[in-house]
Amino acid sequence: MYRYYPTVVGIAIALHLIWAVGLIADPQAIHATALHAMLAVTGSSIASAGVFAAVATLAVVGMVAHRVPVRVILILPQHLVLWISVAGEAYAMWLGQFADGTIRSHWFLIVDQVPVILIACGHTAALLFITAERQDDGQR
């Protein structure tokens, strides 16, 4: 079962690349709830796009790395960025409003934001499975 972790990491890679392209195409996309927390870290939508693209690229390189410690180190930035997004989403759920200020019920926000939260949880499991791999298993 643990061999399915590349799928979760791949979904996160696609997610971050879509976010990066979206921010380049329309900097106002930074006000989407999952992306908005990165604005507090970077200060701009273009810098946030750079962060999303960078962590996706590092994770791609990490997925093809043969040494387990290198794989973990290269995927870890993506993990951190996912959990920054989750923190922003949790804050929005607690406030009962999207990052752009639109007020909704707490449950509306939970239902809307849960996909990224589930991806982050799956990514945590994937990172634990990667860390537990033996060196010879990493050379597929």
Question: Minimal CA–CA distance to 71: which of 82, 83, 79, 59?
Answer: 59
Identity of residue 104: R
Asked whether the beta carbons of 137 and 71 are under 8 A apart, the reply is: no
Q: Where are the domains of the chain?
A: 2-138
pLDDT tens digit at each of 140 positions of the chain: 457 789 999 999 999 999 999 999 999 999 999 999 999 999 999 999 999 999 999 999 999 998 999 999 999 999 999 999 999 999 999 999 999 999 999 999 999 999 999 999 999 999 999 998 875 554 54
- Please state the pTM of the whole predicted model: 0.91
